Amino acid sequence: MGPHSVTVERAQEMQDFINSLLNPVRRQIFVSYHHANEQAFYAEFSSVFAHLYEVISDNSLARQIESDNPEYVIRRIRESYITGSSCTVVLCGPETPWRKYVDWEIKATLDKAHGLIGVNLPNNPRDAQGKVYTPDRLYDNIVSGYAVWISWADLGGGPDVLRQYVELANSKPRGLCQNERPLRRRNG
């Protein structure tokens, strides 16, 4: 290769870089939440961030995947919802920790080694020690350092703030991932 081919390659790299700045990749993020209690938060999240991300929701998996076989459901979640996304955002409200589909969606996310962000919602009550409840599998990963834990108010900083959290979640080393906990078999 002569000097001209290096220059052409370098010019193409620069053009690709400029194109990436002008047309950034629109990441897909999966949002996991308790539909009965957190639908309004999901709707607000989607309306604020839909221009930046392709927001994917399960649209109530219980109705879409009619099976009580957790392994089958997790495989369907992984194939139909998690694959193609780069990060899962878990909206944590008062009943979220006890929802089996939320646990299964977190497991499927961790199986794919995707980013994981927990968002503490304003309606999530505190216990006597001031702690909030989170799904156990999410908690394991917050403690290990794999998952990012933020408050709903943190998202008020706008799209750039969420972008930073998504990139942070996606940069976590796979070795921090904790996914050994037994599956939640029922709600409540």
Bridge-partner residues for 32, per DSSP?
90
CB 179 within 8 A of CB 111: yes
Domains located in the chain, CATH noted: 27-176 (3.40.50.11530)
27 or 26: which leads in pLDDT: 27
pLDDT on residue 188 = 83
Alpha-carbon span 77 to 135, nearest angstrom: 17
Taking only the tens place, the pLDDT of each residue in 126-154 is 999 999 999 999 999 999 999 999 999 99
Tokens found for residue 83: 């694959």
Predicted confidence band at 158 (pLDDT cuts at 50, 70, 90)? confident
Question: Does 174 score more than 70 pLDDT?
Answer: yes
pLDDT on residue 76 = 78
CA distances from 164 to 51, 148, 157, 169 (A): 16, 11, 11, 9
pLDDT on residue 61 = 45
What is the average per-residue pLDDT within 43-49?
Answer: 88
Q: What percent of the chain has pLDDT over 90?
A: 51
Mean pLDDT of the chain: 84
pLDDT on residue 74 = 78
CB 64 within 8 A of CB 58: yes
CB 87 within 8 A of CB 55: no
pLDDT on residue 13 = 67
What is the Cβ-side half-sphere exposure of residue 124, based on CA atoms within 13 angstroms? 27
Predicted confidence band at 172 (pLDDT cuts at 50, 70, 90)? very high
Instruction: Give 98: exposed, middle or buried? Use CB within 10 Å, 0-12, 13-18, 19+.
Output: middle
Taking only the tens place, the pLDDT of each residue in 111-120 is 999 999 999 9
Taking only the tens place, the pLDDT of each residue in 55-105 is 665 444 444 566 677 778 778 777 777 777 889 999 999 999 999 989 999
Question: Does 37 score more than 70 pLDDT?
Answer: yes
